[in-house]
Amino acid sequence: MNQFAQKVQLGRMSMWSANRDRKSNPDYLPTALVSDIYSGVEQENQAFAQQLQKNLTGKIAESAKLVTASDITKDELQKPDDPATSPYPIWSKEGVYLAQTKIVWRHNVYEAKWWTKGDPPDSPILRAEETPWQLLGPVLPGEKPLPQLTLPEETYPKWAEETIYKAGQRVMFEGIAYEAKWWNKNENPEVALTNFETSAWKALSQEEIKTILEEK
């Protein structure tokens, strides 16, 4: 790690669990468990730290005084997202988003982890598993809107009201491809766009559509 940091001129390298970087106590029990106060190997105190900092002159105290500033100004952050330069649709409170759907919100790209509606992508959260959105990164300069993929109408049979569908069967309804989640009859696929949990259908994601088009 020390050699790599010097080779690429790494700006900062930190050590995790520095409290364990010390000579082990031979009387420590139990020996079968990983200690939270010793490294578990034969060493002198701060041996790992000394190896990591070899030929590196930076100091933690000096780094703590540094103040970083964002390249994006406050005015730029407050500017509304521009559909003309956003690679994906702008998030809307009224919009319904399926899993793997990508959107733009406040100059960042997010991807839906599951069906969601009305959940702001940048809501403050305590744990990542609480939000239906995953941050992918900022909208980069020069990006343009990406076309939304669609399937030809003849890809799957048109949905028929009286037809019985089994789980996994696919249909087309008003230009959108759907897949049955379970056995159903007289269940309009369009309901999946507004009430995914109770609908017997799910619309195919952009990734699924892309795979289908590539196989043709």
Question: Within 10 Å of residue 212's Cβ, how many Cβ atoms?
Answer: 16
pLDDT for res 134: 92
State pLDDT tens for residues 182-215. 999 999 998 887 777 889 999 898 889 989 999 8
State pLDDT tens for residues 42-82. 888 888 888 888 888 777 677 667 777 767 677 777 788 88
Q: What is the DSSP string of 115-173?
A: -EES--TT---SSGGG-SEEEEEEPPTT--PPPPP---GGGSPBP-TT--B-TT-EEEE
What's the predicted TM-score (pTM) here? 0.54
Cβ neighbours for 214, distance < 8 A, ≥ 6 positions apart: none
pLDDT for res 70: 67
Residues 169-178, mean pLDDT to the nearest whole number:
93
